[in-house]
Amino acid sequence: MSNFDTSMKEKVKEIEKIIDSFLPQECGYQKVVIQAMNYSVQAGGKRLRPMLMNETYRLFGGRGEEIKPFMAAMEMIHTYSLVHDDLPAMDNDEYRRGRKTTHVVYGEANAILAGDALLNYAFETAIKAFEIAEDFEPEKVNAMKEVSVARSLQVLARKAGIFGMIGGQTADIQAEEKECVSLEELVFIHKHKTAALIEASMMIGAILAGASLNEVRKIERCAYNVGLAFQIQDDILDVTGTQEELGKPIGSDEKNNKQTYVTLKGLEESRKEVERLSQEAVEILQEIPGDSSFLTELIHSLIYRTK
Amino acid sequence: MSNFDTSMKEKVKEIEKIIDSFLPQECGYQKVVIQAMNYSVQAGGKRLRPMLMNETYRLFGGRGEEIKPFMAAMEMIHTYSLVHDDLPAMDNDEYRRGRKTTHVVYGEANAILAGDALLNYAFETAIKAFEIAEDFEPEKVNAMKEVSVARSLQVLARKAGIFGMIGGQTADIQAEEKECVSLEELVFIHKHKTAALIEASMMIGAILAGASLNEVRKIERCAYNVGLAFQIQDDILDVTGTQEELGKPIGSDEKNNKQTYVTLKGLEESRKEVERLSQEAVEILQEIPGDSSFLTELIHSLIYRTK
């Protein structure tokens, strides 16, 4: 195992400890939905969004605790979107990462409520950052910290909502019903459905660490590139990957008559676009003083993954 | 029409103007879900929660604008809970207030997304209160206002979530599958499913107006009584009301074999409990300096309604 892989594994473990510390206790009359919430969050995954958030925070010199509730909140939002996406009325998926999906285990009504509860609990959790910011300098209201928590909440809500991730899911559902999807529409879907939460993760890391408005804007651009490249690579792998590598049937996009970056622009152009986007993302990171080597390697590993 | 009724009608109109001013514009690739969001919010209703919030705010001397996004946010949360409650996997209702429910008009997938989007947009909207608080005294960060906005967000998230409204819905779903429900369980359901958002509404009104911690606690108690009495009255009307008055079939609880306050405690005891709860609520209000006459009348009109 390479140094990077070992480091990744340790970081994922640390992040899962942080997330677990914010999950609700499974008790009371509402126990079954809390179990469904925790089952969904603890289903594993790359923990990519909280990792990008934390690494960006460190890059900008952040050393506090107020990042932690935001890391957990981000993973809760990502998870709720998967729980609702898997519902029979949506994608109707019975398995995710080799485990039964939430509605299969807990029933559809509880899965709807668990998704709602996770989204709500994400905000409930992120708001705890105010208390942490106050504890930091208990003798006075730490105005700068409070303002950056408020700004982070704003970014979280915006990027997760109808003008962010949910907007992308909406457009995706419409697109499935159409015969023809334009490149503009496809980029809209990728930008919102996938890139928006990655943008929010890296922006919140920067904001909480005290980055300037201009720096936050640059990080947003970097994250957009990462998100879009990640998604185009997904389209590429559906054509070039093997079923064994991906753990899911290949060519499923073509079979489902789904229009992707590859069907619209061709394989070569798609690869070039991934290259261009990732190059630009890394260049933005290099402009920031501080050690961005892990973050750069992380971005490369995401974009040039083979599974 | 009585003075009270005229006044109510005017207030509802004002509140609807405020809510409308925060609704998202229906455009872009996500247009259809934004339409579904607005269709749901604009379906009418008593606007009880924003009204209680605003009246409590006025009672404590609040005169600012930062209450407005919270009023709109509260109605969005109430609305999303109805949209998801009406889904086929939940109560499977085709009509609400004489209009087709959201999933009937826009399809199930869009209704799930519209509910998610409303919940998310509620927080996106409430967070705008930070900007308003800053505008209020633009030359400096208005620390007291900022802190009360943060505390209000905390209350909103808590009371709407798994330890508030969603918790009540969860317990309600479990109860429907049981043969026997205890009084304790029934009060849990009423407290969480119905009272929690009423508590949040009145508490946020008090907090934003600068009420003390002790006053906020009193208001929480008052609102709990209002919410519980409101729900017990609902159970009473199901037995004593006429179909014409209620606009829905009477005796539906008995027919559905649903256990209610009336089936567990009897009609006379239930009426006494409504009386006791409302009496206590009004007494709490009278302890607060300021004119609570409209709020008192509003509470009486809710609790002693005949439809």
Q: Taking CA atoms, what residue in B is nearest to A134?
A: B147
pLDDT digits (tens, 9 = 90+) for A193-222: 999 999 999 999 999 999 999 999 999 999
Ranges in chain B, pLDDT < 50: none
Q: Which amino acid is at A140?
A: K
Q: Which of residues 106-145 of A touch B (CB under 8 A)?
A: 108-110, 112-113, 115-117, 119-121, 123-124, 127, 130, 141, 143
Q: Which two tokens stand for residue A111?
A: 């899965």
| Angstroms from B268 CA to nearest CA on chain A | 28
The closest of B37, B120, B73 to A196, measured between CA atoms, is B120
Which phi and psi angles does B100 have, rounded to 5°?
-65, 140
Q: Most confidently modeled of A159-163, A237-241, B144-148?
A: A159-163
**A228-239 mean pLDDT:** 92
CA distance linking residue A216 with residue A222, whole number of Å: 10
Q: At what angle do helices B67-85 and B31-41 cross, to 10 degrees?
A: 100
* DSSP result, B51-83: HHHHHHHHHTT--SSTHHHHHHHHHHHHHHHHH
Determine contact: A84 vs chain B, CB below 8 A.
Answer: yes
Q: Which two tokens stand for residue A302?
A: 């995401």
Q: At a CB cut-off of 8 Å and minimum separation 6, what does B256 contact? A: none
Q: Does A187 contact chain B (CB < 8 Å)? A: no
Query: A65: which DSSP letter?
Result: S
Q: Which pLDDT belongs to residue A144?
A: 77
CB contact under 8 A, A109 and B166: no
Residues in B closer than 8 angstroms to A24, CB to CB, are 162-163
Phi, psi dihedrals of residue A96, rounded to the nearest 5°: -145, 125
Size of interface A-B (CB pairs under 8 A): 169
Q: What are phi and psi of B99, to 5 degrees?
A: -110, 155
B16 touches A: beta carbon within 8 Å: no
CB–CB of A185 and B34 under 8 A?
Answer: no
Please write the tens of the pLDDT for every residue from A92-134: 999 998 899 999 999 999 999 999 999 999 999 999 999 887 7
Instruction: Note the pLDDT of residue B253.
Output: 66
Q: What are the chain A neighbours of B158 within 8 Å (beta carbons)?
A: 124
With bands split at pLDDT 50, 70 and 90, how would you rate the model's confidence at A256? low
CA angle B160, B164, B168 (to 5 degrees): 115
Structure tokens at A65: 């605790």
B16-39 burial code (b ≥16 CB/10 A, e <16): bebbeebbbeeeebbbbbbbbbbb
The per-residue b/e assignment along A220-241, b for 16 or more CB within 10 angstroms, e otherwise, is bebbbbbbbbbbbbbbbbbeeb
Give the pLDDT of residue B2.
86
For the record, the structure tokens of B134 come out as 């800053």
Backbone angles phi, psi at B95, to 5 degrees: -130, 145
- CA dihedral sign of residues A32, A34, A37, A42: negative
Residues of chain A with Cβ-Cβ distance to B124 below 8 Å are 154, 157-158, 161
Nearest chain A Cα to B33, which residue? A170
Please state, in angstroms and rounded to a whole number, the distance separating the CA atoms of residues A248 and A108.
Answer: 24
* CATH fit for domain A3-303, picks 1.10.600.10, 3.40.50.720, 3.50.50.60, 3.60.20.10: 1.10.600.10
Q: What is the mean pLDDT of chain A?
A: 92
pLDDT at A242: 63
> In chain A, where are the structural domains located?
3-303
The residues pairing with A96 across neighbouring beta strands, listed in sequence order, are: A99
